[in-house]
Structure 1
Amino acid sequence: MGTASGMLAAARASLGMTGRPNTITRDYAARHGGEFLRAAWCDMAVTYWARQSGNRAAVLPGGDRAYTVWHAQDFQKIGRWHTGTTANVDRARPGDIVFFDWGASNSVGAIDHVGVVEKVLGGGRLQTIEGNTGDAVKRRVRSASVIAGYGRPAYGSGDGGEPAPPKPGTPAPRWPGRYITQPPVMVGDDVRQWQARMRERGWHITVDGAYGPRSEEVCRAFQEEKGLEVDGIVGPQTWREAWESPIT
């Protein structure tokens, strides 16, 4: 069974994805038909992150979703729906699935969009990760005025979606002495070691020893998460943080 932190790690790994078709819409279309390749993909993204992180049962109680209204109704049916009042928004938790109505109502039937809560900012505001926002995966800050409500997945780390407690870091192995970047694609045991560590931290990444576009995408997302310079290059600080910072 998955966790809220795993769901967020999967969402962060997609930050920066743009356009369609993309990895998310292709994954959904492979199961549900080619018409989804270029369709609106905000809820396909939530479906993809849930599947990638082992959270399918918790996040998708009614199965895969591309239509936000049905997804919100799934949470209503199992009693895990919270209407988007300011007070309720301030009680949201990281990993909650948040639904939006650009018409500023709390009507489930009027829902237009969906994302994942990353941080609760107070004052009726949330920081989210959303797919298909400007045809990309981006962080947004949203207020209760456009939040119709949110569903609370029953994550495995505790009822109600509490994030798993951070795991302590470990001493970093010696930095290999070269800056890992691309293009051209760099290969080597140091790349494989770094990829394996990113996978241990919950990122969806292939451990093949080749630092290509996907590895750089994960590196940039990890750097942003840790407040480092976001350049997509595994230098001494990024290497050290991969091991020594707590895993959340």
Structure 2
Amino acid sequence: MDEVDVHYGVHHATEPDEEQILRELYGEPDAAGVFPAARLISAAAGATEMIDEARKSLGTSGRPNAITKEYASRHGDDFLRAAWCDMAVTYWARHSGNADAVLPGGDRAYTPWHAEDFRNVGRWHAGTTASVDQAKPGDIVFFDWGATNTISAIDHVGVVEKVLGGGRLQTIEGNTDDAVKRRVRGSGVIAGYGRPAYGGGNWTEDMVRKLPELSKGDTGEHVESVQGLLMARSHSEVRMTGTFDDTTEAAVKAVQRWGGVEDDGIVGPKTWPVLLRVH
């Protein structure tokens, strides 16, 4: 069956009315073709909030500043005027609700220790060109100006905003020229990066855990969403009535068989990903 990938906004050949139904359910897609539902799913992972928080700090400069003052309030006044690139990462992680994911060893102002934290939890990736091209927005990237790729020699840190290819990353960094700025960095100075376990490491599970279990007889907006998704999966016999009726149940069972899950007619944590095509 041809498909639209709702999560990534990648459009393959669609069934005649699939995109129209997705628009009705989730609103107009953005310039990249990503539906609002996909943005919400991505946000569940936490990387979106982390990057948004870093963007809010763009232009912050000098010291002490809001970032160093907050860090010093927890760890002492010596940090008010200290190098603050990793304090910025700590600040963004805390303010975006991602402290556990981004700071596996707790608050950090010393970059080698922060990189070690990621290595200790098995979430460290080397700074080779091939590896850097596999980075993702929200990853925490560490730099070694001496190009040794040695954790103990790390000098600086930032957050990945965009992967540019060819071993290059667009980043947001604190304490670069004593300010928060965007930079473009190449693999030659990238010692490696840590991959935070945003959303506990499995955004699909986190997302579907928040969705209700639905079955025959249920009513409401979530049932309408199920029916709209079924219509987008070529079940034109279904109507968006908001009532989980016999026709809806039969269509759910058909989609479950197609998706390789138990065809019990219940829309739960195993069936939502099939309907959303995020499995």
* Distance of aligned partners of 1:10 and 1:91 in 2 relative to their CA distance in 1, 3 Å threshold: same
Tell me the equivalent position of 1:130.
Answer: 173
Q: Does 1:144 align with 2:187?
A: yes
Tell me the equivalent position of 1:101.
Answer: 144
Listed one character per residue, the Cα deviations across residues 164-187 of structure 1 (whole Å, up to 9, x for unaligned) are 9xxxxxxxxxxxxxxxxxxxxxxx
Q: Considering only CA atoms, is the larger Rg found in Structure 1 or Structure 2? A: 2
Listed one character per residue, the Cα deviations across residues 1-20 of structure 1 (whole Å, up to 9, x for unaligned) are 86000000000000000000
Contact kept, 8 Å, 1:24 with 1:48, in 2: the verdict is yes
Structure-to-structure mapping, 1:1-248, within 5 angstroms: 3-156=46-199, 158-159=201-202
Structure with more relative contact order (C-alpha pairs < 8 Å, separation 6 or more): 1
Matches of 2:121 and 2:155 in 1, distance apart?
A: 21
Deviation for aligned residue 1:159: 3.9
Task: List structure 1 runs of 4+ shifted beyond 6 angstroms.
Answer: none
Matches of 1:132 and 1:139 in 2, distance apart?
A: 11
Contact kept, 8 Å, 1:61 with 1:74, in 2: the verdict is yes
Contact kept, 8 Å, 2:101 with 2:200, in 1: the verdict is no
TM-score in terms of structure 2 length: 0.56
SS in 2 for 1:58: helix
Deviation for aligned residue 1:105: 1.4
Listed one character per residue, the Cα deviations across residues 26-53 of structure 1 (whole Å, up to 9, x for unaligned) are 0000000000000000000000000000
Matches of 1:54 and 1:3 in 2, distance apart?
A: 8
Identity %: 75
Matches of 1:140 and 1:105 in 2, distance apart?
A: 20
Cα RMSD (Å): 1.5
Q: Which one has a larger percent helix, Structure 1 or Structure 2?
A: 2
Contact kept, 8 Å, 2:62 with 2:178, in 1: the verdict is yes
* Distance of aligned partners of 1:115 and 1:128 in 2 relative to their CA distance in 1, 3 Å threshold: same
* Distance of aligned partners of 1:150 and 1:20 in 2 relative to their CA distance in 1, 3 Å threshold: same
Tell me the equivalent position of 1:194.
Answer: none
Listed one character per residue, the Cα deviations across residues 37-72 of structure 1 (whole Å, up to 9, x for unaligned) are 000000000000000000000000000000000000
TM-score in terms of structure 1 length: 0.63
Instruction: Name the amino acid aligned to 1:5.
Output: T
* Distance of aligned partners of 1:112 and 1:159 in 2 relative to their CA distance in 1, 3 Å threshold: farther
